[in-house]
Amino acid sequence: MEDKDKINNHNDSAKVITRRDFFNKIGTTATGVVLLGSLGVTLDFLSPNVLLEIPKEFKIGPLENIQPDSVIDNAEHHVFIFREHPGSFYAVSSICTHLGCNTKWNPAGIEGHPEGVIACPCHGSIFDKKGNVLHGPAPRSLDRFLVRVENDKLVINTDEIVSEDKMIVKV
Ligand code: FES
């Protein structure tokens, strides 16, 4: 009988966690968390902090490859490039001036603008080919970018916004 009690006592003591054990486990866990956090910060510090920014200036061409009365939807730079006449080029932003949605070129146009329009799918704004607002809620025209010709290519600079009277480059 006495031996049986000893065995029971032994089993009971095996399940008891002392205060010291408890705090040791908490300490070990906390140290592990801190070490993992430090490792993450160190790895983040060592990895290159490169911001892949799309260049503001880009080229399209050669010019003879851009068909007269055509539109190029350059999704990478969010720009529509128009060639209206044999040598008349201009570039308009495809970012809606309402809340920044990406607009779409609609070649079918709308009543009064059969030549095509730029339409925003978000809230219904419509712009003409030169970026003028035909239908709100867009508060202003689309940005028009500086275009120049260099070595038989169009160079479009999305950092240079120009007025409507300066948007067209003729070749
Ligand atoms: S974002 Fe284009 S109409 Fe609202």
Nearest atom within ligand 1 for CA of residue 123: 3
pLDDT digits (tens, 9 = 90+) for 5-45: 555 555 555 567 777 776 777 777 777 777 776 766 666 66
- What is the rounded CA–CA span in Å between residue 48 and residue 84? 45
Tell which atom from ligand 1 comes closest to the C-alpha of 96: 2
For residues 111 and 89, state if they share a domain.
yes
| pLDDT winner (highest mean) among 19-23, 51-55, 141-145 | 141-145
pLDDT in tens, 91-129: 999 999 999 999 999 999 999 999 999 999 999 999 999
pLDDT at 3 (0 to 100): 53
- Would 70 be classed as within a structural domain? yes
**Cα–Cα distance, 7 to 58 (Å, whole number):** 84
> Is 64 in the same domain as 41?
no
CA 71 from chain centre, in angstroms, equals 22
Q: Which residues does a 6 A CB cutoff place in the pocket of ligand 1? A: 96, 98-99, 101, 120, 122-125, 137-138
What percent of the chain has a predicted confidence (pLDDT) above 90? 59
Element (H, E) at 59: strand 57-60
**Does the residue 52 lie in any domain?**
no
What CA–CA distance (Å, rounded) separates 42 from 6? 53
Structural domain for 138, as ranges: 57-170
β-strand partners of 105: 118
Residue 51 lies in a domain: no
Question: What percent of the chain lies above the pLDDT cut of 70?
Answer: 80
Buried b (16+ CB within 10 A) or exposed e, 54-81: eeeebebbebeebeeeebbeeeebbbbb
* Atom from ligand 1 closest to the CA of residue 100: 1
- What is residue 92's three-state secondary structure? strand
Pocket-testing residue among 78, 94, 99, 106, ligand 1, by greatest number of atoms within 8 A of Cβ: 99
Count the domains in the chain.
Answer: 2
